[in-house]
Structure 1
Amino acid sequence: MIIYAHRGLSGCYPENTMIAFQKAYECGARALELDVQITKDEKIVVIHDEKIDRTTNGKGFVKDFTVDEIKDFDAGSWFDHLYKDEKIPTLEEVLQWLSNIEGRMLVNIELKNKEFSQRKFLRELINVIKKYDSPNHHIIFSSFIFENLIELRNLDKEVSLALLIEWNNNYSVKEIMRLSKIVNAKYVHTDIRFLQSDIVDMLCNLINVCVYTVNDNNIYEIAKSKGIFGIFTDFANKMI
C-alpha cells in the first residue's frame, strides 16, 4: 500500500514547507501530497488554504500577493518557533529539490481552486512539471473541482489524474466511475468515512483507491485489509 506523506510530514513539521517534504523523504516516504495555489503574478506556490492566515504570520488571499511578497511571510512559527525561517515554497522549488534526491517519488499535486481550469494556469503548471521531468518521479494531479480535471485532460492526454471525492452518502459506485471515465482518471481519492461503506470495497475492484486522511493505526489496518491502493497520512513516519 502506498503511503502518501500528506502535505509532507505535516504531523511533525509545518505543512507544505520544504522541511516537511525533506523530513518525509528522510523517514522513508516515497510518496508526497502537496497543494497549490496561484499568486497575483500568476506563479504557482505550495499552500493548502486560499488565505495565508492559518499557516503564516500574514493575512489575506494568496491571489492578492506576488510571489516575492508571499516569500516575506513566516510559514513555520505557527507550528513551532523552531521553524520561523520556513517559507511558502514555489512548486518549482519543490520539483527542483525532487530532481536532486535519490530514488523514485510519487507526487500528488492537488489543484485547490477553480482558477486552475483556465488554460493559461494549466499551461504554466505543465511547463513547470516538464522543466523538472524525471523518470524517477511520477506526478499525479487531483482536485475536488471537476472542471480542473476536465481542462487538464483536454490539455494533456497523458497526465495522470485522480478524482477527489468528499464524504457524501449520495455518491454511488456508478456515479464515481462515470466521473472517473470522463477524465480517464487512474485513481479515486476518497474521504476516510467511505471506509465505513461498501462503496470502497466495490471501487477497489474497479480502480486504484486512496483514502484521506489516515492518522490512526487501526484505521490503517482496516484500509489495508480492504485492498486500498494508498493512504494519505500526516504521520508517514509511523505508517511506513
Structure 2
Amino acid sequence: MIFQAHKGVSCENPENTMPAFAAAAQQGYKIIELDVAVTKDLKFVLIHDSTINRTARCKNGKLIAKAIKISDITYCEALEYDFGIWFSKKFKGTKIPLFEEVLKFARENSLKLKIDNKYQNFTIEQRKAFFEILSPYQDVACLTCSSVEEIKSAVDTFPQMHFHYDGLVTVENLEKLSTILPKERLTVWLPHKNPNTSWVKVEFASEKLSDLVKKHASLGIWILSNISQLDEAKKLGADVIETNGQLKPNLNKTMEFIFLQKDGSEHLHF
C-alpha cells in the first residue's frame, strides 16, 4: 500500500509549503497531493484557497486586513506574506512555493505529485502555460481529473503521465476510462466516510464500489487519520491511501503508539 501526504505532512507543518513536502520525503511518503494556483503575472504557486488569508499572514504575524485573491497579486507581491507563521511560530518566514520548485524537489527525492483538479478552472492561456511546465515532468507529475472528458483531453498531451480520477464512479465511466488509459496508469479515488469527508457529494467507499474500481484501475481511498480507518481501507483493497500525516508509511511502533495514546480513541494492533 502506498501512502500519500495530503498537502504534504499538513498535520505537522503548514500545508502546501516546502517544510510540509520535505517532511513527506523524510517520512517515506511516495506521493504528495498539492494544490496549484496562478498569480496575476502567470506564476504557478501552491495554495489551496482562492484567497491567501487563511494560510498567510503579514510579516509581523498579524492577520491580513482584507481578502486577497492569489489571482489578483503578482508572485513578488505574494512573497511579501508569511505562509508559515499561521501554523506555528517555528515556521515563521516560510514563503509560498513555486510549482516548478516543487517539481524539481519531487524528482530529486523520487516522489510523485498528485495535482488537485483545481487546474481545470484555469483559463486557456493559463492552462497552456501550466501544461508547458508539466510536460518535462511526466515522470513526476500526475493530474487529477473530475470527469472522463477531462482525462480524455489531457492524455494526448501527456502520453507518459499517470492520471487520477475523483469524479462520479459508475460502471459506464469506468469502462470509458478503460478505453482511454491502461489500468497501471490510472488511480480512481473513493472517499472514506469520516469527519474529513463529510462534505463530499460522491458515493463513499464500499466493498461493492471498491471491487468495481479495481477491475479498471488502482484504488485510492482518502482521507484517513487513524488505524481503524486504515484497516478498513486495507479490507477494501486500497492500493493508495491519503492522510494529513497522522498515519506514517513506515509504521514505527513507538511513533504510532504515542500518537494513538494522545488521541485516546484507538489501540495498536499489528
Structure 2 length as normaliser, TM-score? 0.75
* Match among 206, 222, 234 for residue 244 of structure 2: 234
Q: Secondary structure at the match of 2:105?
A: helix
CA contact (8 A) 2:53 2:68 kept: yes
- Is 1:224 the counterpart of 2:234? The answer is yes
Per-residue CA distance 1:48-72 (angstroms, 9 max, x = gap): 1111121112432111111111121
Q: Secondary structure at the match of 2:95?
A: coil
Q: CA deviation at 1:12?
A: 0.5
Deviating beyond 6 angstroms after TM superposition, the runs of 4 or more aligned structure 1 residues are none
- One-letter code of the match for 1:14? P
Alpha-carbon distance in 2 for matches of 1:172, 1:52: 32
- Does the CA-based 8 Å contact 1:217-1:239 persist in structure 2? no
Greater CA deviation, 105-114 or 138-147? Answer: 138-147
Q: What is the number of residues matched between the two proteins? A: 229
> What is the SS of the residue equivalent to 1:195?
coil
Give the distance between the partners of 1:117 and 1:2, measured in 2 at CA. Answer: 33
Larger strand proportion of the pair: 1
1:66 aligns with 2:47: no
Structure 2: which 5+ residue stretches go unaligned?
58-63, 194-203, 251-270
**How many Å apart are 1:92 and its aligned residue?**
0.8
Change (3 A) 1:54 1:150: farther
> How much identity, in percent, do the aligned residues show?
26
Does the 8 Å contact 1:36/1:46 carry over to 2? yes
- Structure 1's unaligned 5+ residue stretches are 166-170
Which amino acid in 1 is paired with 2:117? L
**CA radius of gyration, larger in:** 2
Sort the Cα spacing of 1:205 and 1:52 in 2 relative to 1 into closer, same or farther, 3 A.
same
Q: Greater shift after overlay, 190-199 or 42-51?
A: 190-199
Alpha carbons 2:38, 2:71 under 8 Å: kept: yes
Higher relative contact order (CA 8 A, sep 6+): 1
Equivalences for residues 164-183 of structure 1 within 5 A: 164-165=166-167, 171=168, 173-178=170-175, 180-181=177-178
TM-score, structure 1 as length reference? 0.84
1:211 aligns with 2:216: no
RMSD over aligned Cα, in angstroms? 2.5
Determine helix, strand or coil for the equivalent of 1:42: coil
The aligned runs of 1:120-199 (5 Å cut-off) are 120-131=125-136, 133=137, 137-144=139-146, 148-165=150-167, 171=168, 173-178=170-175, 180-181=177-178, 184=181, 186-193=186-193, 194-196=204-206, 198-199=208-209
